[in-house]
Homo-oligomer: A and B are copies of this chain.
Amino acid sequence: MWGCSALQYPVNTMSADIIIKNGTVLTMNEDKEVIQAGVVIIKGRKIVEVGSNDLLAAYSSKNVIDAAGGIVMPGMINTHTHVSMSVFRSLADDVPDRLNRYIFPLENKMVSKEMSYLGALHGSIEMAKSGVTTMVDMYLYEESAAEAVKEIGLRGIMTQNIIKYPTADGKDAQAKIDLAIEFVENYKDDELITPGFGPHAPHTVNREDLEKIKLLSEEYNLPVSMHVAETETELNDFKDNYGMTPVEYLDSIGILNERFIAAHAIFVTDSDITLMKARDIGVAHNMVANIKSAKGVAPALKMHDQGLRVGLGTDGPMSGNTLDIIGQMGYVAKLHKLANKDRSVMPPLKVVEMATMGGARAIHREDELGSLEKGKLADIAIIEVISANMVPMYSPYSALVYSANASNVDTVIVNGEIIVKDKVLLTYDEVKSRKMMLDFSKRVSAIADTL
């Protein structure tokens, strides 16, 4: 009324749906700009502004989140998982040849639509609470998994597993292709779920079925996710049988293109890498699962540095055991240093880049996801920096990669919706989901004892 303030606030501020203030904002934009006391303005599904404190004068909202100095970053992208397998987590770890000896027999007895839904529900909760906002999944009865992912409020590229063996969800590959088509028809226009095709691996799907999948992916313009070059045996068998690497074999079918996401890619040659780049495929780098199974360290650093689209993935929770990307980051940083005998390679910034923009590029959605920039979808994680392991924080990238764990994640926003706040999931009753899981796990135990 009387006098005047040195700071003139606009009389009419613009309204926002959510304002995040007081963050250490890792934009992950092209300049890798970090904004101290940073602000992110969200309207509807999108980020409308990212900047400094000054923005607080221009916008108002009923929903202001004080990040309290915490790290505000793009939601992490888990580029490869089998989320429903959370029901089997911690079962038969470290058994040699466990896929054939243990996992397939167990799945034949236990997998159902109910199981696929329940495992995806539980695993999505774990991802949501750890700051993962998008997953690329491949499993049986994938439509049931997609339903759960949507219920928790995550973004999912959900690919129906297609394999030549009889499985709980179909007697042959064609039965699973039919399931995929049905799923695709039901979900092709969904905002959060992108349905797709998940041929299991080059040696577990026949060539003619891969050709069908290639055509379907083209027809619907939907993604294909597939295990590629995961074992040395696979590489050697393809060389012996076809005179080609698995990557070359897939390329001979014409399935490698911008809709294709290759999981693992451990045993790839330099010329495979050149070919993968030329075909513009995405790559999911699953460090924890790959070394737990003693397979090896994929040349993901070389791929990334050569401009390939490399994101991070957890693999299924029976392989990597956890579904958070924060845990992967520490391994990715350290294993590439060890493999290259050079502590300066794979610095934290590069690892965080893989976890965010790298993942977005791997799924060819870098225009919408992977960084905090005006016009992008509002998929955001806030990591608190008050737990003892996060203090002090001279470098937010180092703190994230070398110190943080999944439980440091405080707030998570997907598609403009807050799904986790103050470490509490807002979209589902965790007590209920845990009870359902514990009940189901008793049935799993009974079957597992017979294997």
Q: Kindly state whether residue A122 has any CB partner on chain B within 8 Å.
A: yes
Assess whether A405 is in contact with B403, with CB atoms less than 8 Å apart: no
Q: At the interface with chain B, which of A3-11, A25-33, A248-256, A381-389?
A: A381-389
Q: At the interface with chain B, which of A48-56, A158-166, A171-179, A327-335?
A: A327-335
Q: Which of A392-414 contact B (CB under 8 A)?
A: 392-395, 398-399, 402-403, 405-408
Q: Closest CB-CB distance, A208 to chain B, in whole Å?
A: 34
Q: A90-B394, A389-B126 are in contact. Are A343 and B292 (CB under 8 A)?
A: yes
Q: Closest CB-CB distance, A342 to chain B, in whole Å?
A: 6
**Chain B residue with the shortest CB-CB distance to A288:** B334
Q: Kindly state whether residue A125 has any CB partner on chain B within 8 Å.
A: yes
Q: A292-B402, A344-B96, A405-B407 are in contact. Are A126 and B388 (CB under 8 A)?
A: yes
Q: Which 7 A-B pairs have the closest CB atoms?
A: A407-B407, A392-B441, A321-B402, A126-B388, A90-B398, A405-B405, A294-B343
Of the residues B91, B126, B340, B445, contact of A294 by C-beta under 8 Å? B340
Report the Cα distance A294→B130, complex, angstroms: 28
Assess whether A93 is in contact with B294, with CB atoms less than 8 Å apart: no
Q: Kindly state whether residue A284 has any CB partner on chain B within 8 Å.
A: no
Q: Kindly state whether residue A337 has any CB partner on chain B within 8 Å.
A: yes
Q: At the interface with chain B, which of A34-42, A199-207, A365-373, A430-438?
A: A430-438
Assess whether B129 is in contact with A388, with CB atoms less than 8 Å apart: yes
Q: Kindly state whether residue A391 has any CB partner on chain B within 8 Å.
A: yes
Q: Which of A298-356 contact B (CB under 8 A)?
A: 321-324, 327, 330-331, 333-335, 337-338, 340-344, 347-348
Q: Closest CB-CB distance, A388 to chain B, in whole Å?
A: 4
Report the Cα distance A440→B348, complex, angstroms: 24
Q: Kindly state whether residue A448 has any CB partner on chain B within 8 Å.
A: yes
Q: Kindly state whether residue A444 has any CB partner on chain B within 8 Å.
A: yes
Report the Cα distance A331→B335, complex, angstroms: 10
**Chain B residue with the shortest CB-CB distance to A290:** B338
Q: Kindly state whether residue A297 has any CB partner on chain B within 8 Å.
A: yes
Assess whether A322 is in contact with B389, with CB atoms less than 8 Å apart: yes
Q: Kindly state whether residue A60 has any CB partner on chain B within 8 Å.
A: no
- Binary contact readout A232-274 vs B (1 if CB under 8 angstroms, 0 otherwise): 0000000000000000000000000000000000000000000
Residues of B within 8 A of A122 (CB): 388, 391
Assess whether A89 is in contact with B430, with CB atoms less than 8 Å apart: no
Q: Closest CB-CB distance, A86 to chain B, in whole Å?
A: 8
Q: Kindly state whether residue A120 has any CB partner on chain B within 8 Å.
A: no
Q: A321-B403, A334-B291, A387-B407 are in contact. Are A348 and B93 (CB under 8 A)?
A: yes
What are 10 A-B residue pairs whose CB atoms fall within 8 Å in the complex? A89-B399, A90-B395, A90-B402, A94-B344, A291-B334, A292-B333, A292-B337, A391-B437, A392-B444, A407-B407
Assess whether A398 is in contact with B321, with CB atoms less than 8 Å apart: yes
Assess whether A89 is in contact with B437, with CB atoms less than 8 Å apart: no
Of the residues B89, B387, B438, contact of A403 by C-beta under 8 Å? B89
Q: Closest CB-CB distance, A196 to chain B, in whole Å?
A: 25
Of the residues B125, B327, B438, contact of A392 by C-beta under 8 Å? B438
Q: Kindly state whether residue A67 has any CB partner on chain B within 8 Å.
A: no
Q: Kindly state whether residue A105 has any CB partner on chain B within 8 Å.
A: no
Residues of B within 8 A of A327 (CB): 405
Residues of B within 8 A of A322 (CB): 389, 402-403
Assess whether B438 is in contact with A93, with CB atoms less than 8 Å apart: no
Q: Kindly state whether residue A170 has any CB partner on chain B within 8 Å.
A: no
Assess whether B343 is in contact with A388, with CB atoms less than 8 Å apart: no
**Chain B residue with the shortest CB-CB distance to A319:** B402
Of the residues B129, B296, B342, B394, contact of A91 by C-beta under 8 Å? B394
**Chain B residue with the shortest CB-CB distance to A289:** B334
Residues of B within 8 A of A341 (CB): 294
Assess whether B94 is in contact with A347, with CB atoms less than 8 Å apart: yes
Assess whether A91 is in contact with B395, with CB atoms less than 8 Å apart: yes
Q: Kindly state whether residue A20 has any CB partner on chain B within 8 Å.
A: no
Q: A96-B343, A334-B292, A403-B90 are in contact. Are A437 and B321 (CB under 8 A)?
A: no
